């Protein structure tokens, strides 16, 4: 049986954003509000309150134009936990293949009475475009190489759970920074919450002028390894690369892969994260991925709470007249 949310409504009353397009556009206070709301949902779940009634009578549409396991499933389950109805859209087999435009497709789905749209697309800015053309809230579930805000929020939530605060922590994002929307969202979020951020990888996979975002650059993981409190191992995005950006996968794994040998030289309490899907043996060896410092599955569990928090905060409560603009 679902229950109404017996929580502090002041967070929701202070929330003013209609869309979640990226962490670039959120303040430290807004990011913290999402984290705190997710923590509240976790507390309720631990008390057995796993089904809440706050989105009862609303519809959440998952519009995925790119493959996904974690984000899609997690948003779908988050909507159900909040008692929303859900619609699952997949590009293949839709009228897109008959030439319907992206915006027309979304507007037709919205016309069925959808309240919130979750969108993943290979084109940077696709969610922003929908936000301009739809009346519903739009949540970015990953747009090309641009942003993946809920992934960064769940990464940050997981770090906060393990280390208490982000302030003063040194966090490394290791790997394919150029092609990574996860890296971009993490940089915005981590910097806003006071962490020191090092981006580390082959020079060919680090964007020019990335220092302008307030991060440090390292091309030698072993040099910075002893300083790191948290290491987020990004996936090599073979599907986005044109190839030739590093000599071989074996060399990448040798220079930047997290393995048992490097773990011996890391801090005793280092936290190992990976957004997934992981290339086992490339960015991370199985012993590290499944070892005691790894929080990879905690990240997935926390992703559900973060997505519940986002859907809840963005929900326009028409009954109480909140605008959520």
Q: What are the residue numbers of the active site?
A: 70-71, 98, 120, 148
Q: Which helix or strand (DSSP H or E) is residue 175 part of? A: none
CA 196-198-199 angle, to 5 degrees, is 145
- Residue among 168 and 277 whose Cβ is closer to ligand CP: 277
Cβ-contact 122, 140 below 8 angstroms: no
Query: 166: Cβ–Cβ under 8 A, 6 or more apart, which residues?
Result: 156, 159, 160, 190, 193, 194, 195
Burial class (CB in 10 A: 0-12, 13-18, 19+), 143: buried
- Residue among 201 and 275 whose Cβ is closer to ligand CP: 275
Largest Cα–Cα separation, the chain: 59
Would you tell me which residues interact with ligand CP (CB under 6 A)?
Answer: 68-72, 142, 148, 151, 275-277
**In the complex, minimum distance from the CB of residue 275 to ligand CP, in angstroms, rounded to a whole number:** 4
- Residue among 232 and 285 whose Cβ is closer to ligand CP: 232
**In the complex, minimum distance from the CB of residue 17 to ligand CP, in angstroms, rounded to a whole number:** 21
- Residue among 68 and 86 whose Cβ is closer to ligand CP: 68
Cβ-contact 64, 72 below 8 angstroms: yes
**In the complex, minimum distance from the CB of residue 72 to ligand CP, in angstroms, rounded to a whole number:** 6
**In the complex, minimum distance from the CB of residue 34 to ligand CP, in angstroms, rounded to a whole number:** 17
- Backbone dihedral angles phi then psi of residue 67, each to the nearest 5 degrees: -65, 155
Size of the chain in residues = 325
Cβ-contact 292, 241 below 8 angstroms: no
Query: 87: Cβ–Cβ under 8 A, 6 or more apart, which residues?
Result: 59, 60, 61, 62, 109, 112, 114
- Residue among 226 and 277 whose Cβ is closer to ligand CP: 277
Name beta bridge partners: 89: 63
Contacts 24+ apart (CB under 8 A), 44-51: 44/5, 44/6, 44/7, 45/305, 49/3, 49/6, 50/81, 51/1, 51/2, 51/3, 51/81, 51/83
**In the complex, minimum distance from the CB of residue 312 to ligand CP, in angstroms, rounded to a whole number:** 20
Q: How far is residue 266's CA from residue 210's CA, in Å, rounded to a whole number?
A: 25
- Residue among 136 and 185 whose Cβ is closer to ligand CP: 185
**In the complex, minimum distance from the CB of residue 188 to ligand CP, in angstroms, rounded to a whole number:** 17
């Amino acid at each position: 049986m679902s229950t109404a949310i017996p929580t502090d409504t002041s967070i929701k009353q202070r929330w003013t954003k209609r869309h979640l397009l990226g962490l670039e556009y959120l303040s430290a206070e807004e990011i913290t509000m999402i984290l705190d709301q997710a923590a509240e949902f976790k507390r309720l779940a631990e008390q057995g309150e796993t089904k809440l009634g706050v989105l009862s009578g609303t519809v959440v549409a998952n519009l995925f134009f790119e493959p996904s396991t974690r984000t899609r499933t997690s948003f779908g389950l988050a909507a159900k936990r909040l008692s929303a109805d859900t619609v699952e859209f997949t590009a293949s087999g839709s009228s897109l293949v008959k030439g319907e435009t992206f915006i027309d497709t979304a507007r037709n789905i919205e016309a069925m009475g959808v309240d919130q749209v979750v969108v993943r697309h290979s084109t940077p800015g696709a969610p922003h475009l929908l936000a301009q053309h739809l009346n519903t809230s739009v949540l970015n579930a990953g747009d090309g190489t641009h942003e993946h805000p809920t992934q960064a929020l769940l990464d940050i939530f997981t770090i906060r759970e393990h280390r208490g605060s982000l302030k003063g922590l040194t966090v490394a994002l290791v790997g394919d920074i150029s092609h990574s929307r996860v890296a971009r969202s993490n940089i915005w979020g981590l910097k806003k919450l006071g962490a020191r951020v090092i981006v580390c990888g082959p020079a060919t996979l680090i964007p020019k002028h990335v220092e302008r975002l307030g991060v440090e650059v390292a091309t030698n993981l072993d040099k910075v390894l002893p300083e790191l409190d948290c290491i987020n191992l990004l996936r090599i995005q073979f599907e986005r690369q044109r190839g030739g950006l590093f000599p071989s996968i074996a060399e990448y794994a040798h220079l930047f892969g997290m393995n048992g040998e490097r773990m011996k030289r890391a801090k005793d309490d280092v936290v190992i994260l990976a957004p997934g899907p992981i290339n086992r043996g490339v960015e991370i060896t199985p012993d590290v991925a499944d070892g005691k410092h790894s929080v990879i599955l905690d990240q997935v569990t926390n992703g559900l709470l973060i997505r519940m928090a986002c859907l809840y905060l963005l929900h326009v409560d028409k009954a109480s007249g909140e605008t959520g603009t």
